[in-house]
Amino acid sequence: MTPAAEASTRQTVDAVDDAQVRLRVRPRRLRRTPALRALVRETRVYPAMLVAPLFVRPGSGMRQPIESMPGQARLSPDVAAEEAARLADLGVGGIILFGLPEGKDPFGTGASADDGIVQDAFRRIRALQLPLVAIADTCMCEYTDHGHCGPLAADGSIDNDAALRRLAEIAVSQARAGADIVAPSAMMDGQVAAIRAALDAEGFGQTAIMAYAAKHASAFYGPFRDAADSAPAFGDRRGYQMDPANGREAMREMALDVAEGADILLVKPALSGLDLIAAARARFDLPIAAYQVSGEYAMIAAAAERGWLDGRRAMLEAVTAIVRAGAGIVLTYAAGDIATWLRDER
């Protein structure tokens, strides 16, 4: 054989060898049966890692459907307590309460009222001694007449340091009513430190803080603002919530919240922040939570209503991806549904 022919033969033999090696490696072997797939599944969602947001409104015996969030409703405190009991029965890990007060004012006074709507609901839930974690969203946008997350300064901007005083009062009143965790979501600078100091000073050293550390100014909060009647009356939240384009800034916000004493870090929205969830998981050793927000829920629920996709599969896929990215806690409006579905998953 000429050297050229020999080289060409060698190449052919190598190619055949390569092909055989490639065919020995067959990832599909482990996808063959449901049992094999269950055995090698890397990510599982458990009811205990889910937190269900509940909207509490005045009244009794009330369950008022929320149009923009199919399957969700505004509940009076007594019904919210029943719902919490139902979720606890399903093994759901926690609930987070949002309040829709009777009246609003410039300071969001209702958010820290001892007889406030959320405080009332916490007391009823506490009385049931349910095996789930009671979390309070600590903000005032549902309680201010202008719909912003803090009191206004003379120039119409949000007064950060006045907001800190209010957030501290709100957190203390929520802890007093029985919240295990307070979750500041106002994106004010220094909010975790201010709340930690106030809780400790008032004897609530055991109340934990789940910091909405990386919260983007997101269009995906639309349905929530309709549900909670909390859309800003003027302007938007871009002066305090983060630009969705920024990931390094999100890491900086999280590091600040760790330094200020946060117990849990939360990323929000979840599906558009999967990279941040993964980065947070790698960088910090605190529990990482993610919020599958109203718009993420509504997109799937609305498409499912129209028969455009399988709502159950899509919801499970989205929440599984959030857990795969690194979240150990997921806030989701589908918590009850998912806990029910998981009963027949293996």
Provide the annotated active-site residues: 215, 268
Measured between alpha carbons, how far apart are the two ends of the chain, in Å?
Answer: 61
Phi first, then psi: give them for residue 76, nearest 5 degrees.
-75, 160
What part of residues 132-171 is at the interface with ligand PBG (CB under 6 A)? 137, 139, 141, 149
Q: Is residue 224 part of the contact set for ligand PBG (CB under 6 A)?
A: yes
Q: Is residue 225 part of the contact set for ligand PBG (CB under 6 A)?
A: yes
Tell me the C-alpha distance between 59 and 54, whole Å.
15
Q: Which of 76, 109, 112, 185 binds ligand PBG (CB under 6 A)?
A: 185
Q: Is residue 294 part of the contact set for ligand PBG (CB under 6 A)?
A: yes
Q: Which range touches ligand PBG (CB under 6 A), out of 2-10, 29-37, 74-82, 220-228?
A: 220-228
Q: Which of 69, 84, 44, 128 is nearest to 336 (CA)?
A: 84
Which residue's CB is nearer to ligand PBG, number 204 or number 224? 224
Q: Is residue 319 part of the contact set for ligand PBG (CB under 6 A)?
A: no
Q: Which of 55, 122, 204, 221 binds ligand PBG (CB under 6 A)?
A: 221
Q: How far is the CB of 22 from ligand PBG (least distance, A)?
A: 46
* Residue matched to tokens 């409006």: 333
Phi first, then psi: give them for residue 74, nearest 5 degrees.
-85, 130
Q: How far is the CB of 222 from ligand PBG (least distance, A)?
A: 7
Which residue's CB is nearer to ligand PBG, number 78 or number 159? 159
Other beta carbons within 10 Å of 316 = 18
Q: Is residue 293 part of the contact set for ligand PBG (CB under 6 A)?
A: yes
CA-based max dimension of the chain: 96
Tell me the C-alpha distance between 52 and 330, whole Å.
9
Q: Is residue 188 part of the contact set for ligand PBG (CB under 6 A)?
A: no
Contacts with ligand PBG by CB under 6 A: the residue count is 12
DSSP 299-329: HHHHHHHTTSS-HHHHHHHHHHHHHHHT-SE
Residues at the contact surface with ligand PBG, assessed by CB under 6 A = 137, 139, 141, 149, 185-186, 221, 224-225, 230, 293-294
